[in-house]
């Protein structure tokens, strides 16, 4: 009996030794793939706040009978995400503009300004300086002469001032159409290539400074046109004059910039920056106060001292009463309970959602999304995108969390800006591993 027992043990030992398999050092155990990039779920991107998962009731919060008839209140569940604590400012958007400017300059100069990347393609050598004073356009070198096409011609200069031609600042970005790709099954006999679900767009990214005049014809707004985006006095004010397409380009660049840095540090990439859906925006605006009409929670637009709580059009048009005349600093007034500034007033904000009056009648109650990326040839009715929050030129009704309006995706306005969100990966900020 002992001899049989010993034989079985010997056979088992041999079997274990021969079936070790896998990477050396695993001892045949299921321990997961090793040498993975580092990850910490407790990450908080700079300038963003964490919005935890939760539920709220979307729909009218005012006694608007017609709106309430068309848009019934609906319970919505939202997964956690990060959100910019303020609207994207002029100076933050200028970082994007200068990146595009410098990348174009490097490509025009060529030579040592370009290097071969790891995948064998040409990439920009950011370590190579550009011999150009962009403020004055001053350069007497051959390199500077090569960049002359980026500036206005002499005939187009005002008082001889040399300035960058913003029409030359174009950014190309690529995105993947996930919903279309999901219609294809792994079992399809003739599957489409991955490229069939990829799309590219090249757009001019400089803000439209003329919106201050164009939006208000019989109003003297020329000083805002001349200074709002360029002067340091407005660096921390929300960027305006950007189209819906430009917000997507900015988000794509922001994603690329940060994930490239994280890759250089052997860190796992993050998901994509983007503008929020209208329901993410409304949930964040409420600050955890379900059914409250305004981001600060109460039913009034003044505090107990009679001070206005947002930048908008008070009364019949007493614009300076709230402390602002046009836009104000992005960190003006008190933030809501999530730590978000100016979710009411200052500038209305783009969302990714296509505008439809009764959308919440058919959207899913879990992380709802109603989207349509309209083409140039599509009719205008298909280019409507939801904007939220109201602006400096709007009456108090548009400051309510549930109130929505729209602008066309190819339009730019002096009262519409944006902020970005970033999906949170995991259940909760508290579920990070060490």
The burial class, CB within 10 Å (0-12 / 13-18 / 19+), for 315 is exposed
DSSP H or E segment with residue 200: strand 198-204
Does the pLDDT at position 121 exceed 70? yes
> For residue 275, what are the domain limits?
65-89+205-423
User: 11: pLDDT confidence band, cut at 50, 70 and 90?
Assistant: very low
Q: Which residues contact 322 (CB under 8 A, 6 or more apart)?
A: 308, 310, 311, 312, 314, 345
Mean pLDDT of 417-428: 91
Under a CB-based contact definition with an 8 Å cutoff, are residues 253 and 96 in contact? Answer: yes
The whole-number pLDDT of residue 240 equals 98
Under a CB-based contact definition with an 8 Å cutoff, are residues 197 and 222 in contact? Answer: no
User: 33: pLDDT confidence band, cut at 50, 70 and 90?
Assistant: confident
The whole-number pLDDT of residue 61 equals 61
Measured between alpha carbons, how far is residue 352 from residues 238, 312, 358 in Å?
Answer: 19, 24, 16
The whole-number pLDDT of residue 140 equals 64
The whole-number pLDDT of residue 348 equals 98
Between 407 and 119, where is the model more confident? 407
Lowest mean pLDDT among 92-101, 119-128, 214-223: 119-128
| 120, part of any domain | no
Instruction: Write b or e for each residue in 396-417: b if 16 or more Cβ atoms lie within 10 A of its Cβ, otherwise e.
Output: bebbbbbbbbbbbbeebbbbbb
Tally of CA atoms within 13 A in the half-sphere of 228 that contains its CB: 25
Quick: pLDDT tens for 146-164: 999 999 999 999 998 899 9
Quick: pLDDT tens for 37-52: 877 777 889 999 999 9
| 17, part of any domain | no
Sign of CA dihedral 99, 100, 104, 107: positive
Question: DSSP strand E in 301-398: where?
Answer: 348-354, 384-388
Averaged confidence pLDDT in the chain: 88
Measured between alpha carbons, how far is residue 385 from residues 47, 60, 351 in Å?
Answer: 26, 19, 7
The total domain count for the chain is: 1
| 262, part of any domain | yes
Residue 101, both tokens? 């400017």
Strands 421-423 and 81-84: antiparallel
Does the pLDDT at position 120 exceed 80? no
Quick: pLDDT tens for 159-204: 988 999 999 999 999 989 888 899 988 888 888 998 999 999 999 9
User: 64: pLDDT confidence band, cut at 50, 70 and 90?
Assistant: low
Lowest mean pLDDT among 66-70, 85-89, 288-292: 66-70
| 102, part of any domain | no
User: What share of the chain in percent tops pLDDT 70?
Assistant: 89
Lowest mean pLDDT among 92-96, 120-124, 246-250, 322-326: 120-124
Under a CB-based contact definition with an 8 Å cutoff, are residues 237 and 227 in contact? Answer: no
| 383, part of any domain | yes
Quick: pLDDT tens for 227-281: 999 999 999 999 999 999 999 999 999 999 999 999 888 888 989 999 999 999 9
The whole-number pLDDT of residue 23 equals 52
The whole-number pLDDT of residue 91 equals 98
Indicate yes or no: pTM above 0.85.
Answer: yes
Under a CB-based contact definition with an 8 Å cutoff, are residues 407 and 232 in contact? Answer: no
| 117, part of any domain | no
Quick: pLDDT tens for 344-366: 999 999 999 999 887 878 889 99
- Over its C-alpha atoms, the chain yields an Rg (Å, rounded) of 27
The CATH code of the domain that includes 282 is 3.90.1580.10
| 138, part of any domain | no
């Amino acid at each position: 009996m002992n001899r049989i027992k010993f034989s079985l043990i010997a056979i088992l030992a041999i079997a274990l030794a021969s079936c070790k398999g896998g990477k050396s050092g695993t001892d045949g155990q299921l321990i997961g793939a090793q040498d993975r990039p580092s990850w910490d779920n407790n990450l908080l991107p700079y300038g963003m706040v964490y919005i935890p998962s939760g539920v709220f009731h979307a729909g009218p919060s005012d006694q608007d009978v017609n709106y309430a008839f068309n848009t019934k209140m609906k319970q919505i569940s939202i997964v956690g995400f990060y959100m910019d604590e303020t609207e994207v400012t002029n100076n933050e958007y200028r970082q994007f503009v200068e990146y595009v400017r410098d990348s174009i300059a490097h490509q025009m100069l060529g030579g040592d300004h370009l290097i071969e990347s790891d995948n064998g393609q040409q990439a920009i050598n950011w370590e190579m300086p550009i011999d150009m004073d962009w403020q004055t356009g001053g350069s007497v070198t051959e390199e500077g002469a090569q960049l002359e096409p980026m500036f206005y011609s002499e005939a187009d200069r005002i008082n001889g001032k040399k300035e960058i031609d913003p029409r030359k600042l174009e950014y190309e970005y690529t995105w993947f159409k996930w919903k279309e790709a999901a219609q294809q099954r792994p079992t399809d006999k003739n599957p489409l290539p991955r490229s069939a679900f990829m799309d590219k767009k090249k757009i001019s990214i400089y803000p439209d400074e003329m919106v201050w005049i164009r939006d208000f014809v019989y109003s003297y707004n020329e000083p805002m046109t001349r200074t709002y985006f360029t002067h340091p006095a407005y660096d921390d004010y929300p960027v305006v004059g950007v189209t819906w397409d430009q917000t997507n380009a900015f988000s794509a660049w922001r994603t690329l910039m940060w994930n490239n840095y994280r890759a250089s540090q052997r860190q796992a990439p993050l998901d994509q920056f983007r503008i929020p859906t209208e329901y993410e925006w409304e949930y964040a605006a409420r600050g955890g106060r379900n059914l409250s009409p305004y981001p600060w929670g109460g039913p009034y637009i003044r505090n107990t001292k009679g001070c206005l709580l947002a930048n908008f059009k008070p009364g019949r048009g007493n614009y300076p009463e709230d402390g602002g005349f046009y836009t104000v600093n992005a960190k003006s007034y008190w933030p809501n309970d999530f730590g978000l500034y100016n979710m009411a007033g200052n500038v209305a904000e783009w969302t990714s959602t296509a505008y439809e009056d009764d959308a919440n009648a058919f959207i899913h109650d879990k992380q709802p999304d109603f989207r349509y990326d309209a083409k140039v040839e599509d009719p205008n009715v298909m280019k409507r995108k939801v904007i939220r929050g109201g602006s400096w030129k709007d009456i108090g009704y548009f400051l309510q969390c549930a109130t929505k309006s729209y602008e066309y995706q190819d339009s730019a306005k002096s009262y519409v800006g944006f902020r970005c969100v970033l999906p949170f990966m995991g259940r909760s900020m508290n579920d990070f591993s060490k």
